[in-house]
Amino acid sequence: MKLNYNIMQTNTDIEIIDFIDLLNHTLSKGFVELWKYKYSERFLKQFQIKILQALSNQKPLKIDTLYTYLTKKCKYSKVQVLNFFDSINILSYYPFIIGKLTKHKQ
């Protein structure tokens, strides 16, 4: 029984490390370099700022809130934001980015 617990803990540890690596990459200059030709550098910085704010507040970020921020406050097109979410596989940021887009936004 103890062996199974250790395997589960090891898998959890690996998942946590992978998730931290994902966040580190998302906040890095390399992330901006990777996507700046498809999406503007300003767009990517706005996304990074929202990630940092959520980390600072120690609260998960709702995908609807992120979508609304990028489309309404930052004035990016809905198509651009949705394409970006698909490009970076926004679902891989769970449990940091939670929820799903409401139907009218898809």
Residue 62 pairs in a beta bridge with 98
Q: Report the pLDDT value the prediction gives residue 1, as an integer from 0 to 100.
A: 45
Q: Report the pLDDT value the prediction gives residue 102, as an integer from 0 to 100.
A: 80
Q: Report the pLDDT value the prediction gives residue 8, as an integer from 0 to 100.
A: 56
pLDDT tens string, the chain, 106 residues long: the values are 455 555 556 777 888 888 899 999 999 999 999 999 999 999 999 999 999 999 999 999 999 999 999 999 999 999 999 999 999 999 999 989 999 888 655 5
- Helices 2-26 and 41-57, axial angle in degrees (round to 10): 130
